[in-house]
Each structure stands twice: as C-alpha cells, then as structure tokens.
Amino acid sequence: MRFGVPEAIDMRWLLIFWVFLMGAISYLDRVNISIAKKWVQADFGLTNNEIGYVFSAFVWGYALFQALGGRLADRFGPRRVIWVGVLWWSVFTVLTAWVPIGLSVSLLLLVLTRFILGVGESVVYPASNQLVSKWIPTKERGIANGIIFAGVGVGAGVTPRLITWIITNWGWHWSFYISATLGLVVGMVWYLLARDRPEEHPWVKKEELAYIQAGLTTKATGETPKSAPWGRILGNRSILLVTASYFAYGYCAWIFFTWFFTYLNEERKLNLSNSALFSSLPFLAMALCSPLGGAISDALTKRYGKRVGRCGIGVVGMGGAAVCIALGTQLESAQLCSIALAMGVGMQYLSQSSYWAVTADIAGRSAGAVSGFMNMGGQIGGALTALLTPRIAEAGGWSASFLTPAALCALGAICWAFVNPDSRIESD
C-alpha cells in the first residue's frame, strides 16, 4: 500500500482518473450557469442575447488562453499549472454568485467574471495532454484521453439534475458555492498526488517506469523541455487541419453546454423535471462514447496503424454526428429529438481522444502548446455557438441553430481525411 493506494494500481492510471475527476468538476463549474439561466436572467433582467454574452465570455477567456496555458504546462509542468488553474476557477465561480444585482454595470461585471473564470479553466486540458505525453505510452493514449474526456460527459450530465435540485432547495447562488468547493477539494488532492514525470514519483514501481519509458515518443531527460517555436507549429499542415476540425467539434459540443437545456425547456415545452432528465442524455452519451472511442482507436491503431485508428475514427465520428444531429432537428417528438441529438454528440465524442492523441504524438515535448492551440480553435467555435445560436434561432428557427453544427461536423470529418498522424514537428 502507498498511503492507501493499492500496489496493484499503476500510478499513470490513477493520475488519469484524477484528471477525469477534475474535468468533471470543471464542467460542473462552467455548465451550472446554463442550468441557472432562468433565475440569473430574472434577477439581473437580462434578455436572451445578453445572457448569450455571459455564456460566450467564459468561452472567449477559455479559448484565447489555451495556447498560453499549454506553453505554461510545457515550461512549468502539469502538476503546478493545473493546481493554480483549479484554485483560480474556484475563486471566480464564487465571485460569479457575488456579482451585485441592479447596478448599471452588473452585466459588465458578470461578463468580466465569467471571462476571467474561463482563463483559469483554460489550462486544464492542454496541461493534461502534457501529462499524457510524459506518462502514457503511445499505444495507450487513445483510451487515456477517452477516460479524461469522459469527465466532460459525467460533469455536464450530473449538472442538470444536481444544479436544479440545489437551486430548487437553496437558490441559484448556492449552486456556484458548492461547485467551487468541490473544485478546491479535488485540486488539493491533485497537487499532493501528482508529479510531472513518472521518474519523479516515489510511488511508481520500477516495472511501470520501464514500461512507460519504452512506449514514449519522446524520451525523458532531466532537463526542462524546450517547446518547438510557433513558426514550426503553425507550419505543420496536420496541426492546422486538426485545429480546423476541432473548431467544428467545439461549435457542436458547446451548443449542448449552453443552449440545449433552454431548447428542450422553452422550445420543446418539456417541464423542468423532464427537461433536466432529457438534457442529461447527450452528456451520458459523451461519458460512454469518449472512453469507448479511445479504446476502439487504440485497438485499430495497434492493428492497422494511426491512419486508420486515429484519422478513421475522426472521419466516422464527426460524419456520424452530422447525420444524427441533422436527423434530430426533423423529429417532432421532443423525446425522440433528444435521443437523436444525444446519438449525434455520442458519435462526435467517439472521435474526441483521436484529436488529443494525434496532437501528443505530433508535438512530442510541445504537447501542451500544440494541444492548447488546437483546443483554442475548438473553444473559439464554442464562443461563436454561445453568441450565434439565439440569433440563428430568431432568424431561422431552432432547427437552423442545430443544422449549423451538423454542417460543421461534416466539414470536420473531411479535414480528418487529410491529416497525417505520423508527421512530427520536432526530431528527438
């Protein structure tokens, strides 16, 4: 036993599980305002377009600092960078609930608070990909990233029922206080548990260390790793294609994080209890399909190579998402629509691990910066979702709002067809 950790548990998987848990909490912190939308709007007197500014402020802060967050993780290591990020976003989650009501600048304060909260959360996934590049052998990166991003589905899936229950019993402010407290707890455990490299961790067994080091694309050294220059990163065609595809991915995913609950509750006329139930379906699909896609990707990569195992899953996942989401807009039954849209986002999340595994493989020591750049593209797509969805709905109806991400998913699938997963931005 290692302070309560059984010897049979490999440290790399314990760390991956903890990143999964922090990811779930981070999505609880970011999606709670979507569930609390009706009460926040009522207290602050906001229109749908104004609350859209609040939604998108978080995503812009999250998006614009992805690359910097990744570079910081490359320089200072994921352990410290993730801990500072968790502390940061927990503080600003509380401050969201403390924004005063009735001031002429209340909307501006909400927007600024959510923007700064997004900056804090921006470091998590680029830093986790730096962790993957140091701790996870190449052949296991699909399932590792699949587990990490299953936290997205678990956190966002738990949020509707949990936040609705908290709001109903204690008010919307307490939903933010509880979310922040959970973040602080898992963040403190992370700092105590994690190390930047396996050779630094006292609990790593010799056999596991040898296995990890034999499977890495970039061999460990005792020196601070040097990231590739941005000119080389931006000159890699595969990185640009993956980023373009992830823009489509982000636009599609964020319509579920910001407007899906409102769509079911206000457009499809489901009551609060049923709306909370059905709005959980896409996030359940995310939680199930993310690790499933990672496992399939690893298996196909082992047998047929990265072109099939990484890029093929990207094409099938994004293409399937386009079909299912477009189908969902045409169904009259709110329940069947929810199921079809959940199938669409589930197909999308089959491809999730491929994005992060490919960037880790291509980037090597620069995995944080490259995955941060890719995720910046995805989150810019998400920011545009928060802003454009109510406007598209006003102009062409809610079906048009969901057909837009369906079309983008189809373009994202095409991008994957031209990615070379064996390209490298640096030589070892």
pLDDT at position 424, please?
A: 86
For residue 62, is pLDDT > 90?
no
* 320 within some domain: yes
Residue 8: pLDDT band (50, 70, 90) is low
269: containing domain? 11-216+230-416
| pTM score of the predicted model | 0.80
Residue 5 lies in a domain: no
Q: 86: closest CA among 28, 130, 163, 164? A: 28
| Angstrom distance (rounded) from CA 303 to CA 167 | 50
With respect to residue 424, please indicate whether it lies within any of the assigned structural domains. no
- State yes or no: pLDDT of 55 exceeds 90: no
Q: What is the pLDDT of residues 171-215, one digit of tens each?
A: 999 999 999 999 999 999 999 999 999 999 999 999 999 999 998
In a domain, 369, yes or no: yes
Q: pLDDT by residue (tens digit) across 15-40?
A: 999 999 998 888 777 778 888 888 99
CATH number at residue 72: 1.20.1250.20
Ramachandran area for residue 291 (φ above 0: left; ψ -120 to 50: alpha; else beta): alpha
Amino acid at 164: T
Please give the Cα distance from 91 to 113 (Å, whole number). 10
Write out pLDDT tens, residues 204-261: 999 999 999 998 865 555 555 567 888 888 899 999 999 999 999 999 998 987 788 7
Share of the chain above pLDDT 90, in %: 56
Is it the case that residue 324 has pLDDT exceeding 90? Answer: yes
User: By mean pLDDT, which of 159-168, 219-228, 284-293 is the weakest?
Assistant: 219-228
Q: How far is CA 169 from CA 98, 174, 219, 299, in A?
A: 19, 9, 53, 47
Task: Examine residue 393 and state whether it is found in any structural domain, yes or no.
Answer: yes
Query: Residue 2: what pLDDT?
Result: 53
pLDDT at 6: 56
57 pLDDT exceeds 80?
A: yes
* Contact between 199 and 220 (Cβ < 8 Å): yes
| DSSP notation for 377-424 | HHHHHHHHHHHHHHHHHHHH-HHHHHHHHHHHHHHHHHHHTT--TT--
- The 10 Å CB-count burial string (b at 16+, else e) for 213-245 is eeebbbeeeeeebebbeeeebeebebbbbbbbb
Distance CA 221, CA 46 (A): 54
Other Cβ atoms less than 10 A from the Cβ of 328: the count is: 22
Q: Assign 5 to helix, strand or coil.
A: strand
Q: Write phi, then psi, for 5 (nearest 5 degrees).
A: -95, 120
* C-alpha to C-alpha distance for 356 and 149, rounded to whole angstroms: 10
Buried b / exposed e over 116-130, threshold 16 CB at 10 Å, is bbbbbbbbbbbbbbb
**Minimal CA–CA distance to 355: which of 339, 324, 379, 388?**
379
- 398 is a domain residue: yes
pLDDT digits (tens, 9 = 90+) for 105-153: 999 999 999 999 999 999 999 999 889 989 999 889 989 989 998 887 7
Q: Is residue 98 part of a domain?
A: yes
pLDDT at 63 over 50: yes
Instruction: Output 398 or 95, whichever has higher pLDDT.
Output: 95
Compute φ and ψ for 2, nearest 5 degrees: -120, 85
First to last CA, the chain: 37
Query: Is position 83 within any domain?
Result: yes
Could you tell me the pLDDT band of residue 159, with boundaries at 50, 70 and 90?
A: confident
Domain count, the chain: 1
Q: Name residues whose C-beta falls within 8 Å of residue 113's C-beta, 6 or more positions apart in sequence.
A: 92, 95, 96, 99
Mean pLDDT estimate for the chain:
88
Confidence at residue 23, expressed as pLDDT on a 0 to 100 scale: 87
What is the structure's pLDDT at 428? 40
Q: Given this model, what pLDDT does residue 210 score?
A: 94
Tell me, what's the pLDDT at 400? 92
Interatomic CA distance for residues 381 and 65, integer angstroms = 14
Token pair 């961790």 in the structure block, residue? 201
Q: Please tell me whether residue 38 adopts helix, strand or coil conformation.
A: helix
Retrieve residue 151's tokens. Answer: 């936290």
2: helix, strand or coil: strand
| Per-residue pLDDT band at 12 (split at 50, 70, 90) | very high
